[in-house]
Amino acid sequence: MYTSVDINWFRKPVKQKDLEGKDYRWGYSAKGLFIGMKLTLVLEYPTLKPLLFLLHPANRHEAKIFQEVMDELKRRRIVRNGDIVIMDKGFYAYRNYLMGVNEYRIVPLIFPRSNFNIGRLDGILSYPLSIFSSKMLEKEIRRFKALKAKLMNLLRRWEHFKAVRSVIEDVFKLAKSFGLRRLHRYTGRSVYKFAALNVLLVGVVVALGFREKRVLQRLAEM
């Protein structure tokens, strides 16, 4: 989710070097260039309950923050072994599939890009060397094979999960409608506080039972 700060960069051109030391950066979204931050929001499905949010400069690519997101989910004991974690194409990278299975022991259903080669991934996904020092080697091998088999099966029909991604996108739009589209705040601390309030409001809305796609869309448009 991208959120911009309301700097009038048309009036005075702003270069990337002008933003050194700032919490916000130049970024690019589907709507074009902007100056702002990137908010990563993790939801539980199907309850749509917010579980975690992180802030990064807008120029930080999602594929590079996969590990940070997973570390936080593990540290807070939100994600468990064997859980399916659905992520959009921004997180796509072969190393993230491998990391998800071997290091975090989850099924990282990251939507693939057009150049994805499932045969290549099948060859890359192998046991981590650390597995052979385990006292429960056979159990670890069975666990790895089960995670890999589940991931490969889901990736072959990943398009079936587009409906899930669509509902999640509606939740993001709802969060933006609370004031995250354009911020009159210019420090990481102030943005974090404002984002926390917005995520709390999203949690309250879904906790009250507003989870249907049409309802979420109408709320976001109000």
Using CA atoms, how far apart are residues 116 and 182, in angstroms rounded to an integer? 34
- The tokens for 198 are 């917005």
Strands 84-87 and 107-110 turn out to be parallel
Predicted pLDDT of residue 63: 82
87: which 2 tokens?
């992520």
Q: Shortest CA distance to 86 belongs to which of 110, 66, 52, 105?
A: 110
SS3 content of the chain, % helix, strand, coil (to 5): 50, 20, 30
* Radius of gyration for the alpha carbons in the chain, expressed in angstroms and rounded: 19
- 3-class DSSP state of 193: helix
The letter for the amino acid at 100 is: G
Q: Which of 127, 213, 128, 120 is nearest to 174 (CA)?
A: 213
Rounded to an integer, what is the distance from CA 135 to the centroid of its chain? 34
pLDDT of residue 132: 72
Q: What is the pLDDT of residue 104?
A: 94
Quote the CA–CA distance of 100 and 128 in Å, as a whole number. Answer: 12
Q: Where are the domains of the chain?
A: 2-221
Residues in the chain: 222
Question: What is this structure's pTM?
Answer: 0.86
What is the full DSSP assignment across 105-171? -SEEEEPP-TT--HHHHHHH----GGGGG-TTHHHHHHHHHHHHHHHHHHHHTGGGGHHHHHHHHHH
pLDDT string in tens for the chain (222-residue length):
778 888 877 777 888 888 888 888 888 777 777 888 888 999 999 999 999 999 888 777 888 899 999 999 999 999 999 999 999 998 999 999 999 999 999 999 999 999 999 999 999 998 877 777 777 888 888 898 999 999 999 999 999 999 999 999 999 888 888 887 778 888 888 888 988 998 999 999 999 998 888 888 888 887
